[in-house]
Structure 1
Amino acid sequence: MSMQENIITVRLEAPAHGGHVVARHDGRVIFVRHGIPGELVSIAVRDDAEKARFWRGDVVEVLEPSEHRVPHFWPLADALASASRGVLPVGGAEFGHIALAAQREIKGQIFLEQMQRLGGIDATEHGFTGVRAPEGEAADALGWRTRMAYAVDSKGRLAMNAFRSDEQIPVKEMPLAHPKINDLRLWELPLAGISRVEVAVGSGAEEPVLVLFIEDGSIAGAAGRAAKRLPEGTNAAALTQVAGSVADGRGALQRLRGRTWLTETVAGHDYRITGEGFWQIHRLAPAALIERVMAQLEPSYGSRIADLYAGAGLFSAPLAKAVGDDGMLLSIEGAPGTSKDALKNLRELPQAVISQGRVEKTLSRELNTRKTKLDSIVLDPPRTGAGKIAVSAMVRSGAKKISYVSCDPASFARDTADLLAAGFRLSEIDVIDLYPHTHHMETVGLFIRN
């Protein structure tokens, strides 16, 4: 970070989606990170081209602090400490300077604003009462991440990127990471020649660890040397980026030692998650989300339900058990590798139909083939949301209930507007803080056909 940047003093206003607080200077809107609404701060202005619609900035000094400001738990992510060293703060803990209760209040304000601006509704009139912590959360809300992704810098050191920057900052312990991830001491491994490290740990007490080394070429050499230095009993695999190796473009997963998958047990069901497969990040998220979805849909024996963007089958398994032999659970996932996990996880449930493909096309095709309609749907789409085409397919499915799990309030709000226009009403909203110390949040909304 160059300290020759434009430093200005501003009063911070309302919070904004994406981890920012709005400020204004000479008529220009500036999206500021690492501040708290109401503070008077000095910021280093970035992306400040004269013709830019807005500027961005980072707090480098606090002149009038908020009562909710606390010492950051991670010095590398502390904007003030980083500015004093002339470097950028690492990303991934952008709310760490805010007391937890205030973090959740700010997230609630952002959720309300997004629902009003993009969804066209007042969320408080549809069941929203605020952002809550998941049951069983630690008092400091640290150590919750069961999945981590790291870069490797040009010197072969474990690193993470600064926000919206190619600058890579060497890291060691990551306070939000599950203790078993930090116990691997990945920063001590010989990582030269490896471009990226992904690590996953089971949320249960006895689950093994899986480490993925993602490279640009062959696994020979660098990944093998690093794997040998891992603690005894650690599983390791390499994901090579070889063109055309697999259909989903992720590359070829090859075992280095131990297994290439993790096992999870949630709500009495065992799941297998292959190394690169999707799984909820927060250690409490799988159980918390299953509880909410099951409570919203109230699945009955013999009913027909679709699980869209189903991943490894987190919701598919309990729903399939609930509908029984006379029902149908249609589990649709786009990623081929993750869909294979779902096949394994649901193999003992013949009422579960696993289909791999784009949701908006696959849902209509499967229902037309079976000449049937749905009773209800659960969907957990990527951050970009479902979109108009997928929403239209859900509307045509005949489903009377939709439980929508979302990790982004903006896309949830846009899809809400489309569902309301199609004849659904939003009857329940539960927003859970499954990403503490970051700006992210998880929403579970229940839509009922009018």
Structure 2
Amino acid sequence: MRTAQPVLRVPAGDPLVGERYEVEVGPVAHGGGHCVARHEGRVLFVRHTLPGERVIVEVTEGTTKSRFLRADAVEVLTPSKDRIAAPCPFSGPGKCGGCDWQHVTPGGQRKLKGQVLTEQLAKLAGLTPAEAGWDGSVEPVGGKLPAGEVPRWRSRVQYAVDPESGELGLRKHRSHEIQSVDQCLIASAGVAELGLETQDWTGLSSVEVIASSGSSDRQLILTPVPGEQLPLVELDKPVAIARIDEQDNFHQVHGRTFVRERAAGRTWRVSNGGFWQIHPEAPDTLVDAVLAGLDPQWGENALDLYCGVGLFAGALADRVGEDGAVLGIESNKQAVVDARHNLAALENVRIECDKVETLLPRTGITSTDLVVLDPPRAGAGRETVSHLAGLSARRIAYVACDPAALARDLGFFKEHGYRPVSLRAFDLFPMTHHFECVAILEPVKG
């Protein structure tokens, strides 16, 4: 009988959390609202700072053996010209992790996002902005704001509940700890008007609120602590209520199981937990960019991949007309039900339920005119890109919420003879590091 050998573990190193260093801040990094700095040869990813600043940082994660450290800028010695006082009292080191760039002017935020996209295109796709058909700008949505003014754009907010006080709060960065808040400054007016922060939510672990921007519909999705009863909800505004059980199933408690949104000339049903853009102007902004880039013609055939509740499929169907056809593919069953309901009047649209990478090769489709590709944050991937490139579409619209996934997939498309002829970036998530892109691709001629 063999004796089990002891597991050899690499020493974790001595903790450096709480250590403070003075550093010169380098470029912005992709993801998390960090900038890159170095101290004695070690890389630090620092939040609450800006490129070019000299700051005192405090380490929040890492040891002497770590490849890199995470840190917060706790004192600014030399500020950037784009720095402002954070309007939100819950923003800053050790506080709410939701907004990365409350301390940055609106123009400065867009500049940082542009730098991230430029770096990802070069690193992962081997493209300059000009080669990607991009003018280098990140476009504001809803008009430009003066420094210090916070846009109320977020129509969907998930609050955590403090288990001791029953108060609502938001998670701290990379933590399960809760920062209690009396309001969220980026929450839309439809969320703020409910006054959820004044309620006692004891017995719940989270409260998600959805305020439709296309109707007066308001919806709460409650997640109880196992074994606890739902609290009594008394609000001045009418609101639908659902709860989520331990298996992530929805149970309607009161009101509609969906909210109604308005975009692209239609009313859309979006059921409990379904995806819809959370900036009120995002659906129309993205549809307009996709249609302008694709320029659909009467009688053409189109694919809408990862089609959700049918937003792009409906817009395409109107343009290709009764002589054309649109196939939408979506893996979320409830989203498919909603899409079929939303587009029931359009005989030239078919919605299928399955994973894109599973169903698309089985459709028997060997060619198409147009493709809309709106994958989840991880992107489409090499296999799906390879299949799409074989369909000889005259144009492909790629809608992306992650610049790294977009750049990687543009690199895959380049391998198969497709190049971006235009790229637009939209600041649909102000105060955060997130943004949305629409790339239009064509096959390389000759």
TM-score by length of 1: 0.91
CA contact (8 A) 1:151 1:161 kept: yes
Pick closer, same or farther for the CA change 1:232–1:146 going to 2, 3 Å.
Answer: closer
Structure 2 equivalent of residue 401 of structure 1 = 395
Secondary structure of the corresponding residue to residue 125 of structure 1: coil
Identity of aligned residues (%): 37
Among 11, 24, 27, which residue is 1:14 paired with?
A: 27
Q: Note if contact 1:431-1:442 (Cα within 8 Å) is conserved in structure 2.
A: yes
Question: Counterpart of 2:133?
Answer: 127
Q: Name which of structure 1's ranges 311-320 and 387-396 shifts more when overlaid on structure 2.
A: 387-396
How far does the alpha carbon of each residue in 1:18-66 deviate from its partner, in whole angstroms, 9 at most, with x for none? 1111101000111101101111111111222222211111111111111
Q: CA RMSD in A?
A: 1.8
| CA distance in 1 between partners of 2:224 and 2:291 (Å) | 40
For 1:340 and 1:239, the matched residues in 2 are separated by: 20
Match of 1:68 among 78, 82, 105: 82
Paired residue for 1:288? Answer: 285
Of 143, 155, 158, 2:152 maps to 143
The answer to whether the 8 A contact 1:404-1:445 is kept is yes
Q: Which runs of 5+ in 2 are unaligned?
A: 1-14
2:238 is the alignment partner of 1:233: yes
Q: Decide whether the 8 Å contact of 2:16 with 2:63 is kept in 1.
A: no
After superposition, residues 212-231 of structure 1 pair within 5 angstroms as: 212-215=221-224, 221-222=229-230, 225-226=231-232, 228-231=233-236
Q: Is 385-394 or 132-141 further displaced after alignment?
A: 132-141
Q: Is the 8 A contact 1:376 1:402 kept in 2?
A: yes
Counterpart selection for 2:113 from 97, 107, 111: 107
Give the counterpart of 1:184 among 194, 201, 213.
Answer: 194
1:200–1:209 Cα contact (<8 Å) kept: yes
Report the equivalent of 2:9: none
Provide the C-alpha distance between the structure 1 equivalents of 2:302 and 2:225, rounded to a whole number of angstroms: 41
User: Which residue is 1:82 aligned to?
Assistant: none
SS in 2 for 1:110: helix
Displacement of 1:299 in angstroms is: 1.1
Residue 339 (structure 2) aligns with: 342
Q: How does 1:23-422 map to 2 (within 5 A)?
A: 23-79=37-93, 88-129=94-135, 130-136=137-143, 139=146, 140-155=149-164, 156-204=166-214, 206-215=215-224, 221-222=229-230, 225-226=231-232, 228-242=233-247, 251-366=248-363, 368=364, 371-422=365-416
Distance 1:176 1:232 in 2: 20
Unaligned 5+ segments in structure 1 are 80-87, 243-250
Shift of 1:392: 1.7
Alpha-carbon deviation of 1:230? 2.4
Task: Give the distance between the partners of 2:338 and 2:52, measured in 1 at CA.
Answer: 48
In terms of mean alpha carbon deviation, does 27-36 or 62-71 score higher? 62-71
Q: Given residue 201 of structure 2, which amino acid in structure 1 is its aligned partner?
A: L
Conserved 8 A contact 1:406-1:442? yes
Normalized per residue, the structure richer in helix is 1
SS of residue matched to 1:13? strand
Question: What CA distance in whole angstroms lies between the structure 2 residues aligned with 1:124 and 1:435?
Answer: 25
Contact map agreement 2:425 2:436 (CA 8 A) in 1: yes
Partner letter of residue 230 of structure 1? L
Q: Where has structure 1 moved over 3 Å in runs of 4 or more?
A: 135-141, 215-218
Answer yes or no: is the 8 Å Cα contact 2:57–2:72 preserved in 1: yes
* Aligned-pair CA distance for 1:340: 1.4
Q: Do the aligned residues in 2 keep the contact of 1:311 with 1:339 (CA within 8 Å)? A: yes
Question: 1: distance between equivalents of 2:186 and 2:151?
Answer: 5
Determine the C-alpha separation between the residues in 2 that align with 1:328 and 1:142.
39
User: Which amino acid in 2 is paired with 1:237?
Assistant: A
Distance 1:271 1:41, change over 3 A: same
1:326 CA drift (Å): 1.9
